[in-house]
Structure 1
Amino acid sequence: MPPQEDTTAPVDGSTTTVRAGDLEVGVIDIGSGVPLVLVHGGESDRTQFTALRARLGDGIRAISYDQRDSGVTVCPPVPYSLSDLADDLVHLLDALELPTAHLLGASFGGVVAQHVALRHPDRVDSLVLVATAPSYAMGSPALDDLLTMPHEERQRAAVEYFYTPESEAARAGRAGTLSLRSPEQSARRHRVAQEHEVCDRLADIAAPTLIVHGTHDLLAPFSGAVLMQQRIPNAKLRPIDGGRHAIVAEFPSTVALRVREFLGLEAT
């Protein structure tokens, strides 16, 4: 059984908007120190990392933002690619006057982070890949079903996939990390996720990489984490025993501790 954690967290600070490339992007930018960009999952937004941010501690400037079709970011209602999402993150770095940053991507956010590392290696100090995969095809067959459900049905179904049965969220019967989108927005997000396939390019990721993954992830099987560890040069894999897909929300203290260790910061 995985360890239980107190996931109670304060409300994140005020959201601002910045002009990044052609987009108006919603951003939460808190703390000072090494810049760590938190890249949210496919069904989430910038607020996904409230519990994690509260535990990251001193010495980290934690920046989360809304991707296209997410939160308060304003984008054109047209299809886009993973390359576009990677470029969007770099445009955000430019807007914040950051030549480089560490990237932490959870689930689909880890997909975006992988594409940034491959497309813009000079902008990435390191990668933390959480509950993600090197290929959409390596995901659980349940993934397509989950992503095409109506929002309320998906909220109910996600509880089992995201959390261990012992978690507070599971006991309360709520997923807590899913954002409401229009059918058109959801379809664009689903379509771009299906593009992801970098298994044969993992060896080209030059950034130091930490992989944090639940051993019982029901959407991104642990085998994908093992493959990334094997193929990304000098990657480190730190499993969370028994964890499922929402380990950032369910085990924020554990994830934060591993991030601080990876960045060479003292435990808080």
Structure 2
Amino acid sequence: MPRATVGTIELDYACFGPEDGPPLLLIMGLSMQRTAWPESLLHALVEHGLRVITFDNRDIGLSTRFHGVPAPSMLRVAAARLARRSPQLPYSLADLADDAAGLLTHLAIEQAHVVGISMGGMIAQHMALRHPQRLGSLSLLASSSGRIGLPLPRLAVLRLMNTRPVGGDEAAAVDYIDRLFSVLAGPGWPSSPETRRMRALDGVRRAPTGRSSERQLAAILADGRAHRLKEISAPTLVLHGTADPMLPPAHGRDLAKRIHGARYIEIPGWGHDLPDGLMPEMAAKLAEHVRKALPNAGRPSFQRSV
């Protein structure tokens, strides 16, 4: 797959769909590779006429990794955040947002519609703040404003996150990812155990996570952007599940309230994952949001293929 050089970082990326379709940049979440976007979603978005772009964030997948760079102490990062100090980090969410904007420049795309899930939504928020002219619209899935005081993940999620294996044991890594996503799934959109394990194995064999998740988590914990979200001008859609165990629905509601004119949709029974059964509906909502944000929204600028 192609790679883009953005400053000192190389990003692994892929493009799908018609080159003349409205560009849709998908930003993945914590410790997840671009291949975690399910094919069911990619195919549905392409059927809606969109040019879909996925990429590995820095320090994950096949993009530039930070192997050997120590992960900061989470307690120190949290303490610094509470004290309104900036801790020393390998990178910040703002750096990841600049990477995404740099990828658009590499692809000669002046403006794209940006979708982010979970941490990817946090990166997308920074992109909207730092590079407002690059966004035609913003869609935030299962994400958060990062405001201090919002509900914590459920206990089962916290326990699993504290037991993430960091060695090179493939079977242990696959088992951990499978267990984590079984907990993250919502009751309204259950995931198939076979699909979970297959995707986990594919990800581990493509590029083991190592300590990347700890460095990315430090960037999340250190970030204080909630007070700035009122500055976002891009047309914004916030999608959140009623059964999200990682970021309970209060996160989505708070996020939507902070962005002027944001449209908020709560999906019954959805957790903190991308279940195949939900993807046609999600793709339709994302495509509709893009269509409404286009300059000529009064008439169809792109169509669903038949």
Shorter-chain-normalised TM-score: which range?
Answer: 0.7 to 0.9
DSSP 3-state at the match of 2:62: coil
Structure 2 residue 103 is matched with structure 1 residue 92: yes
DSSP 3-state at the match of 2:196: coil
1:173-223 Cα distance to aligned partner (Å, 9 max, x none): 836665443433222122112123322222111111001111110101101
What amino acid sits opposite 2:25 in the alignment? Answer: V
Distance 2:229 2:266 in 1: 19
What amino acid sits opposite 1:38 in the alignment? Answer: L
Distance 2:198 2:49 in 1: 28
- Which stretch of structure 1 is more off in the superposition, 88-97 or 187-196? 187-196
Structure 2 residue 167 is matched with structure 1 residue 140: no
1:89-129 Cα distance to aligned partner (Å, 9 max, x none): 11111111111111000111111101111111121111100
After TM superposition, the score normalised by the length of structure 2 is: 0.75
Structure 2 residue 52 is matched with structure 1 residue 62: yes
What amino acid sits opposite 2:183 in the alignment? Answer: Y
CA RMSD in angstroms, aligned pairs only = 2.4
- 1:160 is aligned, of 171, 176, 182, to 182
Q: CA deviation at 1:253?
A: 0.8
Q: CA deviation at 1:231?
A: 1.7
Structure 2 residue 2 is matched with structure 1 residue 16: yes
Distance 1:136 1:26, change over 3 A: farther
Percent identity between the two aligned chains: 30
Q: CA deviation at 1:136?
A: 7.0
User: 1:39 touches 1:109 (CA, 8 Å); kept in 2?
Assistant: yes
Aligned to 1:53: 42
- Which consecutive unaligned segments of at least 5 residues does structure 2 have? 70-89, 166-172, 292-301
Alignment of 1:114-263 (within 5 A): 114-135=125-146, 137=148, 138=150, 139-140=152-153, 142=155, 144-148=158-162, 149-150=164-165, 151-152=173-174, 154-165=176-187, 167=189, 169-172=191-194, 174=196, 179-180=203-204, 181-247=208-274, 249-263=276-290
Distance 1:16 1:200, change over 3 A: same
User: 1:131 touches 1:247 (CA, 8 Å); kept in 2?
Assistant: no
Q: CA deviation at 1:168?
A: 5.5
Which structure has the larger Rg?
2
Distance 2:179 2:223 in 1: 24
